[in-house]
Chain A
């Protein structure tokens, strides 16, 4: 054996060597831009002007900015409500799809559709559905005599929040449903057989077999789902641009509005950076909380 081949056979050499391309990619395309973004948040960079280090001034400013505070509230509301609905509806859909239904694979393919359609396209479709003058929903209701005026879907702050959340849920449910369906199919049928021999009700089976066995998948899926929702941009940008009166501005849309059309790169970067702690918290929660063995085995922390 030559020295070279011994060198390459060494576990401590070969491993890192194989990891090098991936590490370089991550460093270059992920760590560097992220680091740059965080750094920009501590500068007063404007479009066309390199910024100077100003410490946490951007953040001090944002804390006193009512629009920013509103956008934080909106983002949390949006993420929380949409995620809960996506989880409940997604799980429900997955359970239904897991049953023996006719045209099973066709139905499963159809369910995925909203997720496949490009966001901008579906957002434009919703924009028409919610239009103040041409809404199909309003039109039908008025024609049926249920109401005498068009619904102001995107023109009234709380209604606009609800409308955007519904559009987001519509888009996000298939992802959750299909992933959970995959999880459901990994649960061995023998467990259900054993449970039914023991006389467990359907709810007990769900509570003590399905849910615990599914929880690792739920943790991963919901982490992704929360991350997607928290950082949503396209849907809001097409539907409302953050209006009416900033009632649907999310941190992501506000960050863009301030940074690019507004020219305040530093401030925009600061808003984007302010999202990171929340995202980290969501990830940590799912990894250290939802993936605990105790929870998965149906127990609880005592």
Chain B
């Protein structure tokens, strides 16, 4: 392999550590430093998703500028709506031309693993230095035992609630299990301050909470062998629960797309929903006094735990992929290494107001998690989340199933009474079988 010869390993000796004179964490100084020598005249094109919070994009660009100054590699960063990155990445993979690096979402990279550069050396290095990688990061980053993507982190996903309304509904603190969660929603409804969870074809929000619901009761689309296993007692229980939960929602959730719950929460129409940090950030940074009051009153909490007895949340996941067609593989790897190192990553995480949750345990120490107590519940999203396609492996089938809203439609059909629980499950089973054949 020519790549090995072009690569530069720098062994950080104890002497070098001493020369720096900085007191380092023991594990850090022991870790092997790694860097890749960018090809002469290297130019990189990076395609990323458009920010959800402004600071994210600003800091990413600032870090990129630092990289350009340090290495002389020319880097251009384009940003597109996150759902538009997907088709573009797909086209790039298909025709073998396009951006060198793409920041992609969910299991996109598992649809074309063969087109992606092996980033094993980089990920092993990061895992040693800042790790361990959380299980979800391993699931999203590796395909068939090979590292195809550098996990960047997950989106945060938590319950967003109005503390005063939850209190008025009789709960001193946010419920930790599904039974009391149902009770809370019922009380909120009675008080005229209802909850609202998206049940339309909302790629992020609806998939997020519907998968949590299914998994919390032990249901799953497929088993470990990728065999469709959705037709189960557990799924039925999850849907019965959804049927009890749905009437407590504000009317109209069947039509909700991704922006709806943000709008409804920020206008005070709903008091409880599932979302990332974006609602809070929007409220906090608003000059409007009403929004400020909402920011003050709202808080976040982990998803309640269902009968399975452990966290089963689902969240957006972000990975960085390098395409094999790139002319500058070393420059691309060096860029990603640079962005994942703590000097850049921590600053970026902070600037993005913790929108992105780290995939590496080391970054749990980032002060962003503690300086505002309302950020803290997001800290473990990536650690606790289950990957898409659980309990099977990721690939075209898991991505197709999710994109076709099989689980969301099933929950919506059963919850709204559009179909019986049994019919909804049977339909979902048939649809899932079409992907997992």
Contact = CB atoms under 8 A, between A and B. Distances in A.
Given A48-B114, A153-B255, A262 B399 contact: yes
A65 B203 CA distance: 21
B254 A133 contact: no
Interface in A138-180: 149-150, 152-157, 160
A155 B252 contact: yes
B201 A242 contact: yes
A182 interface: no
A240 B200 contact: yes
Interface string B145-186: 000000000000000000000000000000000000000000
A264 interface: yes
A48 B96 CA distance: 9
Interface residues of B, number: 43
Determine chain B's interface SS by DSSP, over half rule: helix
A149 B434 contact: no
Contacts of B405: 243, 246
A245 B251 contact: no
Given A47-B111, A244-B200, A261-B403, A155 B94 contact: no
Given A260-B87, A261-B203, A262-B404, A155 B114 contact: no
Interface in B390-419: 396, 399-400, 403-405, 409, 412-413, 416, 418
Nearest to A49: B112
A94 B207 CA distance: 47
A243 B86 contact: no
B251 A48 contact: no
A133 B427 contact: no
A257 interface: yes
A48 B115 contact: yes
Given A241-B201, A262-B399, A48 B255 contact: no
Contact of B400 (A48, A154, A263): A263
A264 B255 contact: no
A130 to B, nearest CB: 8
A185 interface: no
A137 interface: no
Interface string B248-264: 00111111110010011
A67 interface: yes
A244 B257 CA distance: 10
Contact of B94 (A47, A150, A152, A258): A47
A263 B434 CA distance: 14
Interface string A30-58: 00000000000000001111000000000
Contact of A241 (B94, B114, B200, B251): B200
A274 interface: no
B274 to A, nearest CB: 17
Contacts of B431: 65-67
Contacts of A149: 251
Contact of A133 (B83, B94, B200, B269): B269
A28 interface: no
B412 A244 contact: yes
B172 to A, nearest CB: 29
Given A133-B264, A244-B199, 8 more contacts: A66-B427, A153-B255, A155-B253, A245-B416, A245-B418, A258-B400, A261-B403, A263-B399
Interface of A: 46-49, 61, 65-67, 130-134, 149-150, 152-157, 160, 240-246, 257-258, 260-264
Interface of B: 83, 86-87, 90, 93-94, 111-112, 114-115, 199-203, 250-257, 260, 263-264, 267, 269, 396, 399-400, 403-405, 409, 412-413, 416, 418, 427, 430-431, 434
27 contacts: A46-B396, A47-B93, A47-B94, A47-B396, A48-B90, A48-B115, A66-B430, A67-B431, A131-B260, A132-B260, A133-B267, A154-B200, A154-B252, A155-B253, A155-B256, A156-B254, A243-B254, A243-B257, A243-B405, A243-B412, A244-B412, A244-B416, A245-B412, A245-B418, A258-B403, A263-B90, A263-B400
